[in-house]
Amino acid sequence: MTLQNEIPTNEKVELSDVEKAQIDKILLETPHTSGASIDALKIIQNHRGWVSDASLVALSEYLTLPLSDLDSVATFYNLIFRQPVGKIVLHPCDGISCDLMGGKKIRQCLSKYLNISNGQTTADNQFTLISLPCLGACDKAPVMIANQTLYELIQKESLPLILDSLNEATKQE
Amino acid sequence: MRQLSKSDQQTNLPNNPLTRFITDDENCWQLEHYQSLGGYDGLKRALTVSGPAVLDEIKASNLRGRGGAGFPTGLKWSFVPQGDDAPHPKYMIVNADEMEPGAFKDRLLLEKTPHQIIEGLIIGGYTLDADIGYIFIRGDYYTAIKHIEIALQECYNNNLLGKDILGSGFNFEIHIHTSAGRYICGEETALINSLEGKRANPRAKPPFPQVAGLWGKPTIVNNVETYCNLPHILNFGTDWYQSLGRFKDAGTKIFGVSGRVKNPGLWELPMGTPIGEIIENYAGGMCNGYKLKGYLPGGGSTDFLLEKHFDNPMDYDEVGKQRSRMGTGTIIILDDKYCPVAMVLNLVKFFAQESCGWCTPCRDGLPWAAVLLNKIEQGKGELSDIKQLEDLCKFAAPGNTFCALAPGAVEPLQSALNFFRDDFEQHIEQKSCPYCTSDNLEHENDQ
């Protein structure tokens, strides 16, 4: 699954019918509207790649929740992106069990191959690098998540292959 | 309503209740396989007696919460208001937001035995006359989420969830919430705030969630592994359950080892298995060329222990007596080639980043500890920094913050300052990290 980024804009944006339908489904499960806010942010991000200011306004109007509440929630959680990201977000683990097994070197090599620092996106908009805390696969360290796939026992020599296969995956779609 | 009697119990009693459903078959997580091995028999048994009778069984089993704190589950549940005038809906929540550094046990249970968790949750719901269950699962656990979603659908299709479950008259719904990622969501009141769509700040207690939790209603939050124990306690009885433990605590536990050992992994073993046995026999001991320097016995928020503690049973109180905690039961090994200052720096940076920012010792203290540790690691530290680090540990002690994040965060630090003080002082005296090779400033392990 690759993401089509929403382009930043000052214009008003509307939630799509699909987004609204998915949010409505969550609303059925919660006694108060605010209970749907995190799921709704994730739904928007699934469709737009990230959560822009404009889509946050649209969500606030749709859920009739204060914009400041939604913004405060959106900025709190690690997996809600408030900036555009590349087609593929690489999440190497920076937990201690990975670092004990050479995880830091893997992250440094990723940075070097892609020529970006943690948190940045490549110029071709292909990859964003965001390391995450312990990914809970410590017996297979070092590990990384990309495209909803967990890569285990990563060696620096295998990184170019992994990046190539991820590149291929975006071309096929 | 009748009590569970010994004659009800099956004669073929397992010693690995939590993992006995896991086989090499990649579909072993599905309902058909789970039921073929006696899955949902525990629920069926529970439904033949009253909720309070089930609660008595759970109390008698001496089951303690597997999320890390080890609080007696039956006691925790007994605070939920019961009877006709109790508030509804009541909520039962599975805390599947595994994010403790070095903890990877819940992933196994979620991916391989989703029905065991769901069965435990339904039993819990029946016990306390709850209405709605939530599985709060880490957003990065894609396979686990998929399996839980499918398993829930299987339950609805087979009258294990929904209205009049198995003809008992008991109604129960389960929803799944995938977390947007913050370690603090694992704290039960922060988790509740997150389910309400808020920032995951912990709440002041009292009121305790059992009385006023999610949306102000009675709420129970327990760890994945805790729920997994319930079907078996109901199925095989409390005497059997007590007999599983090798020391004082009852039952089995999923133990894990990560770091430079020959065979890192997870094993279901009797509660009270000695630490050394887990590291030497199951994890295979240290990799060739590496020696053990120390280890965190229960994940990233527990105090270091040493080889001299190998005979200590992995049992909540016994590890506590060594001034550490059994926590999640997942051991992280520090080898002799990895810098202890770098290890503690990694952990403190994590906790500083994941602090919700509500309490000062956590919001301000942890980042400052990270600054000092980084300074020492870079060879720019002073001896007075060690004193400051000790002070920051004291400021973050239990009672100074609303939740246990900060006290847990400083556990590896305070014990490292105790056990590996020479390493800290050597960094400061030689103005560089003794674990870095001379021609480049990288740790040997990182090359």
pLDDT tens per residue across span A36-83? 999 999 999 999 999 999 999 999 999 999 999 999 999 999 999 999
- Domains of chain B: total: 3
Q: Which of residues 13-32 of A touch B (CB under 8 A)?
A: 29-32
Report strand pairing: B292-296 vs B330-335.
antiparallel
Q: Which of residues 44-103 of A touch B (CB under 8 A)?
A: 69, 72-73, 76-80, 91, 94-97, 99-102
pLDDT attached to residue A11? 80
- Subunit contact A79:B140, Cβ cutoff 8 A: yes
Task: Give chain B's length.
Answer: 447
pLDDT attached to residue A171? 78
DSSP A44-74: HHHHHSS--HHHHHHHHHHHT--HHHHHHHH
Report strand pairing: A149-151 vs A144-146.
antiparallel
Q: Are residues B319 and B343 in the same domain?
A: no
How close A87 gets to chain B, by Cα (Å)? 17
Q: Are residues B323 and B352 in the same domain?
A: no
Give me the residue from A31, A104, A134 closest to B446, CB to CB: A104
Give me the residue from A36, A80, A138 closest to B258, CB to CB: A138
Please name which of B319, B254, B177, B428 lies closest in space to residue A138, comparing C-alpha atoms: B254
Distances (CA, A) of B205 to A69, A77, B215, B409: 24, 24, 15, 21
Is the pLDDT assigned to residue B20 strictly greater than 80? yes
Contacts of B446 in chain A (CB under 8 A): 102, 104-105, 108
Residues B266, B255 contacting (CB under 8 angstroms) = yes
Terminal-residue alpha carbon distance, chain B = 65
Is the pLDDT assigned to residue B1 strictly greater than 90? no
DSSP B236-305: H-HHHHHHH-SSSS-SEEEEEEESSBSS-EEEEEETT-BHHHIIIIIS-SBPTT--EEEEEBTBTTS--B
Edge-to-edge strand ranges of the sheet holding B292-296: B265-270, B252-258, B330-335, B292-296
Q: Are residues B169 and B210 in the same domain?
A: yes
Contacts of A34 in chain B (CB under 8 A): 196-198
How far, in Å, CA of B38 to CA of B116, rounded?
A: 11
Has residue B1 been placed in a domain? Answer: no
pLDDT attached to residue B271? 97
Contacts of A139 in chain B (CB under 8 A): 104, 256-258, 264-266
pLDDT attached to residue B275? 98
Q: Are residues B325 and B345 in the same domain?
A: no
- Is the torsion defined by CA of B263, B266, B268, B272 positive or negative? positive
pLDDT attached to residue B399? 92
- pLDDT per position as a tens digit, B293-327: 999 999 999 999 999 999 999 999 999 999 999 99
Contacts of B346 in chain A (CB under 8 A): 94-96, 99
Q: Domain containing B316: what range?
A: 252-336
Please name which of B259, B332, B337, B336 lies closest in space to residue B296, comparing C-alpha atoms: B332
pLDDT attached to residue A8? 74
Query: What are the two backbone dihedrals, phi and then psi, of residue A30, each rounded to the nearest 5 degrees?
Result: -125, 135
* Band of pLDDT at residue B11, cut at 50, 70 and 90: low
Q: Among B282, B305, B336, which residue terminates a domain?
A: B336
- pLDDT per position as a tens digit, B102-135: 999 999 999 999 999 999 999 999 999 999 999 9
How far, in Å, CA of B233 to CA of B222, rounded?
A: 16
Contacts of A97 in chain B (CB under 8 A): 101-102, 258-259, 332
Distances (CA, A) of B41 to A88, B33, B157: 44, 13, 17
pLDDT attached to residue A37? 97
How does DSSP classify residue B227? H
**Residues ≥6 apart with Cβ < 8 Å to A104:** A94, B443, B446
**Residue B91: its H or E element:** strand B91-96
Higher pLDDT, B274 or B437: B274
| Residue A1 structure tokens | 């699954």
Q: Which of A97, A111, A130 to mutate to test the interface with B (most CBs of B within 10 A)?
A: A97
Please name which of B403, B390, B399, B388 lies closest in space to residue B354, comparing C-alpha atoms: B403
Q: Which of B90, B97, B137, B140 to mutate to test the interface with A (most CBs of A within 10 A)?
A: B140
Long-range contacts: B57-60, Cβ < 8 Å, 24+? Answer: B57/B4, B57/B233, B57/B234, B57/B238, B58/B127, B58/B230, B58/B233, B60/B238
Contacts of B445 in chain A (CB under 8 A): 100-102
Q: What is the ipTM metric for this complex? A: 0.94
- Subunit contact B446:A32, Cβ cutoff 8 A: no
pLDDT attached to residue B6? 44
Q: Is-cis flag, bond preceding A84, omega within 30?
A: no
Q: Among B202, B219, B244, which residue terminates a domain?
A: B244
**pTM of full prediction above 0.90:** yes
Tell me the angle at which helices A159-172 and A103-114 cross, rounded to the nearest 10 degrees.
50
pLDDT attached to residue A7? 76
Task: Annotate A86-114 with three-state secondary structure.
Answer: CCEEEEEECCHHHHHCCHHHHHHHHHHHH
pLDDT attached to residue A144? 98
* Band of pLDDT at residue B442, cut at 50, 70 and 90: low
Q: Are residues B95 and B31 in the same domain?
A: yes
Give me the residue from A31, A94, A96 closest to B343, CB to CB: A96
Q: Which of B131, B258, B295 to mutate to test the interface with A (most CBs of A within 10 A)?
A: B258
Higher pLDDT, A12 or B264: B264
Is the pLDDT assigned to residue B151 strictly greater than 60? yes
Report strand pairing: B173-178 vs B132-137.
parallel
How far, in Å, CA of A119 to CA of B275, rounded?
A: 39
Q: Are residues B56 and B199 in the same domain?
A: yes
| Residue B343 structure tokens | 């290890």
- Subunit contact A134:B103, Cβ cutoff 8 A: yes
How close A34 gets to chain B, by Cα (Å)? 5
List chain A domain ranges.
17-76, 88-172
Q: Is B206 exposed, middle or buried (0-12, 13-18, 19+ CB in 10 A)?
A: exposed
Across the A/B interface, how many CB contacts are shorter than 8 Å?
Answer: 145
- pLDDT per position as a tens digit, B269-293: 999 999 999 999 999 999 999 999 9
* Band of pLDDT at residue B436, cut at 50, 70 and 90: confident
Give me the residue from B215, B256, B350 closest to A139, CB to CB: B256
Residues A134, A126 contacting (CB under 8 angstroms) = no
- pLDDT per position as a tens digit, A107-130: 999 999 999 999 999 999 999 999
The CATH number of whichever domain residue B212 belongs to comes to 3.40.50.11540
Give me the residue from A78, A96, A148 closest to B347, CB to CB: A96
pLDDT attached to residue A12? 85
Is the pLDDT assigned to residue B409 strictly greater than 70? yes
pLDDT attached to residue B7? 42
* Band of pLDDT at residue A170, cut at 50, 70 and 90: confident
Q: Tokens 């709850």 — which residue?
A: B130
The percentage of residues in chain B with a pLDDT greater than 90, rounded to a whole number, is 94
pLDDT attached to residue B277? 98
Has residue B177 been placed in a domain? Answer: yes
Q: Are residues B96 and B233 in the same domain?
A: yes
Residue of B nearest to A94 (CA): B346
How far, in Å, CA of A95 to CA of B89, rounded?
A: 38
Average pLDDT over residues B78-85: 96
Q: Which residues of A79-117 are buried (b: 16+ CB within 10 A; e: fewer)?
A: bbbeebbbbbbbbbbbbbbbbbbbbbbbbebbbebbebe
Helix (H, G, I), strand (E, B) or coil at B93: strand
Give me the residue from B198, B199, B266 closest to A139, CB to CB: B266
- Subunit contact B199:A91, Cβ cutoff 8 A: no
The CATH number of whichever domain residue B289 belongs to comes to 3.10.20.600
Is the pLDDT assigned to residue B337 strictly greater than 50? yes
- Subunit contact A101:B183, Cβ cutoff 8 A: no
Report strand pairing: B91-96 vs B219-223.
parallel
pLDDT attached to residue A10? 72
Q: Are residues B398 and B356 in the same domain?
A: yes
Q: Are residues B270 and B390 in the same domain?
A: no
Residue of B nearest to A142 (CA): B259
HSE, CB side, 13 Å, CA atoms: give it for residue B42. 32
Q: Are residues B119 and B220 in the same domain?
A: yes
Helix (H, G, I), strand (E, B) or coil at B193: helix
- Subunit contact A134:B447, Cβ cutoff 8 A: no
Q: Among B244, B260, B278, which residue terminates a domain?
A: B244
- Subunit contact B100:A96, Cβ cutoff 8 A: no
Task: Annotate A124-155 with three-state secondary structure.
Answer: CCCEEECCECCCCCHHHCCCEEECCEEECCCC
Is the pLDDT assigned to residue B8 strictly greater than 50? no
pLDDT attached to residue B433? 95
pLDDT attached to residue B202? 96
How far, in Å, CA of B306 to CA of B276, rounded?
A: 10
Residue of B nearest to A68 (CA): B198
- Subunit contact B98:A136, Cβ cutoff 8 A: yes
- pLDDT per position as a tens digit, B203-244: 999 999 999 999 999 999 999 999 999 999 999 999 999 999
The CATH number of whichever domain residue B352 belongs to comes to 1.20.1440.230
Residue A130, chain B, CB below 8 Å: the answer is: no
Give me the residue from A31, A39, A80 closest to B215, CB to CB: A31
- Subunit contact A73:B198, Cβ cutoff 8 A: yes
Long-range contacts: A103-108, Cβ < 8 Å, 24+? Answer: A103/A141, A103/A142, A104/B443, A104/B446, A105/A156, A105/B442, A105/B446, A105/B447, A106/A142, A106/A144, A106/A154, A106/A156, A106/A159, A107/A131, A108/B446
Q: Are residues B270 and B348 in the same domain?
A: no
Cα-to-chain-centroid distance, residue B144: 16
Q: Are residues B140 and B208 in the same domain?
A: yes
Q: Which CATH superfamily hosts domain A88-172?
A: Glutaredoxin (3.40.30.10)
Contacts of A108 in chain B (CB under 8 A): 446
* Band of pLDDT at residue A173, cut at 50, 70 and 90: low
Distances (CA, A) of A140 to A93, B207, B266, B333: 11, 41, 11, 14
Has residue B365 been placed in a domain? Answer: yes
pLDDT attached to residue B9? 43
